[in-house]
């Protein structure tokens, strides 16, 4: 007996904090980190590093080699014969092997523009990934608040079960005193069984929600309690946090980088080169023997062909920017509509909740009066059970409105991407 008392005291001393607890923000973060697509972040970064490294290698000396063997129908000959001077006749079969090294000195900003495009494109991919991951929060919210709603219903279900148990005791007493009959007691038992069945159904549905949330966050949630967030409206001035807006900005930055690359394409390219080889003939076209040779210098290349398409290329990019800006304006328009809709919904629910407490208080008074009438024999037990049921509906409605308000607030938080 003493051991039992000690255990009861220890259990009573445990606070809710002694059990695992989980907030909605923690669920969102865990679900994000557990989502398979999150691995794409590191892949995007690795791809960017490889592309930047490749672009940087354009400043390294560029080596190339070539070889050829030719046979020609005629060769260069000197048509004048000089006595005492033997001018050899070149062979018609000729051989040449050449290796050349080029070192870029200035490319008009092309490599720098390419590197900026690589970084800008990588940023676009990351922002697109952010947009995809953002949808996870809405799924987490639905599951989390669904669990909270079932918790509230289970709590109210227990309140109703306690009330029916109290009514069962009273009706049993009425039966002994001849005020009620066995049918009245059976009616109470039927309601108790209905409440028991509802409890089983609520528990099962809640468990399925918990299992789905556990899959999303990649953790077991056995014995975990879910903390109800505070009812607080977000600051709608933080609208620029939406990942879609950041994606539009990243796309415009990419277009600007592409413009710079187009402009650099018609700039001259300056570099050093050195060429060495072995052939017959070599640099001396009149020599008929295999000889090594080399040549070096500065080379200037200027391709004017890009000027033909430059204007159209720049105009096409401007069209693409205009399309992105139009999408941005449409997105902001839809956001404003969604924000207005959620604010109106929040106001509607709050107006309903103002009357919920008063309705519950009135239903409680009616139920207590009905109990007194039953004890006086002026009301049937069936009528009392109806009043108990109506009070239970009022309490369920109050609990549902509170969770509905939290859901509306968190929908608004999603609209503006509000983060604490």
Q: Residue 296, SS3?
A: strand
- Indicate the DSSP class of residue 226: E
What pLDDT was estimated at residue 197? 95
The low-confidence residues of the chain, meaning pLDDT below 70, are 1-19, 78-80, 82-87, 234-240, 419-420
The C-alpha atoms of residue 101 and residue 65 are separated, in whole angstroms, by 9
What pLDDT was estimated at residue 82? 66
C-alpha distances (whole Å) from 62 to each of 49, 53, 100, 262, 271 are 21, 15, 8, 23, 11
User: In the β-sheet with 269-280, what is the strand arrangement from edge to edge?
Assistant: 62-71, 93-106, 269-280, 291-301
Residue-wise pLDDT for 37-60, tens only, equals: 888 888 888 988 888 888 888 888
Can you name the residues that pair with 70 across neighbouring β-strands? Answer: 94
What pLDDT was estimated at residue 147? 93
What pLDDT was estimated at residue 1? 39
Residues 6+ apart with CB under 8 A from 152: 399, 400, 402, 403
Q: 114 — phi, psi (to 5°)?
A: -60, -40
What pLDDT was estimated at residue 236? 59
What pLDDT was estimated at residue 237? 58
| Angle 395-373-383 from CA coordinates, rounded to 5° | 55
What pLDDT was estimated at residue 266? 80
Q: 289 — phi, psi (to 5°)?
A: -125, 160
Asked if residue 101 lies in contact with residue 61, where contact means CB atoms within 8 angstroms, the answer is yes
Answering whether pTM is above 0.75, one says: yes
Sorted by where each starts, the structural domains of the chain and their CATH numbers stand as: 19-71+89-416 (1.20.1600.10)
What pLDDT was estimated at residue 52? 87
What pLDDT was estimated at residue 19? 58
The C-alpha atoms of residue 257 and residue 112 are separated, in whole angstroms, by 10
What pLDDT was estimated at residue 11? 39
Asked if residue 296 lies in contact with residue 273, where contact means CB atoms within 8 angstroms, the answer is yes
Q: Count CB neighbours of 89 within 10 A.
A: 11
Can you name the residues that pair with 226 across neighbouring β-strands? Answer: 22
The C-alpha atoms of residue 161 and residue 158 are separated, in whole angstroms, by 5
Residues 6+ apart with CB under 8 A from 413: 234
């Amino acid at each position: 007996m003493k051991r039992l008392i000690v255990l009861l005291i220890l259990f009573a001393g445990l606070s809710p904090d002694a059990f695992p607890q989980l907030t909605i923000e923690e669920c969102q973060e865990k679900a994000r980190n557990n989502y398979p697509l999150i691995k794409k972040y590191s892949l995007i970064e690795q791809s960017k590093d490889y592309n930047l490294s490749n672009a940087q290698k354009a400043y390294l000396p560029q080596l190339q080699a070539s070889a050829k063997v030719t046979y020609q129908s005629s060769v260069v000959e000197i048509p004048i014969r000089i006595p005492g001077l033997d001018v050899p006749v070149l062979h018609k079969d000729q051989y040449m092997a050449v290796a050349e090294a080029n070192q870029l000195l200035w490319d008009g900003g092309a490599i720098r523009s390419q590197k900026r495009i690589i970084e800008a494109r990588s940023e676009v991919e990351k922002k697109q990934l952010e947009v995809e991951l953002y949808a996870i929060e809405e799924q987490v919210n639905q599951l989390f608040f669904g669990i909270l709603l079932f918790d509230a219903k289970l709590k109210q279900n227990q309140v109703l079960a306690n009330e029916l148990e109290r009514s069962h005791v009273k009706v049993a007493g009425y039966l002994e005193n001849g005020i009620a009959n066995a049918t009245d007691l059976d009616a109470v038992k039927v309601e108790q069984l209905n409440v028991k069945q509802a409890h089983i159904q609520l528990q099962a549905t809640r468990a399925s929600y918990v299992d789905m949330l556990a899959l999303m966050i990649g953790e077991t949630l056995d014995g975990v309690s879910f903390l109800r967030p505070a009812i607080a409206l977000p600051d709608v001035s933080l609208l620029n946090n939406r990942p879609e807006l950041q994606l539009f900005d990243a796309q415009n930055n990419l277009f600007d980088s592409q413009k710079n690359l187009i402009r650099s394409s018609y700039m001259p390219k300056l570099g050093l080169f050195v060429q060495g080889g072995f052939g017959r003939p070599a640099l001396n076209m009149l020599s008929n023997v295999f000889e090594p040779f080399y040549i070096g210098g500065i080379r200037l290349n200027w391709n004017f062909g890009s000027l033909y398409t430059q204007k159209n290329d720049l105009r096409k990019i401007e069209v693409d920017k205009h399309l992105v800006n139009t999408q941005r304006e449409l997105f902001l328009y839809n956001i404003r509509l969604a924000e207005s809709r959620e604010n109106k919904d929040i106001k509607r629910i709050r107006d309903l909740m103002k009357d919920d407490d008063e309705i519950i208080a009135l239903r409680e008074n009616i139920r207590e009066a009905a109990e007194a009438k039953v004890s006086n024999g002026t009301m049937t037990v069936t009528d009392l059970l109806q009043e108990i049921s109506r009070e239970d509906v009022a309490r369920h409605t109050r609990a549902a409105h509170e969770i509905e308000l939290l859901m509306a607030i968190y929908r608004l938080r999603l609209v503006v991407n509000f983060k604490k």
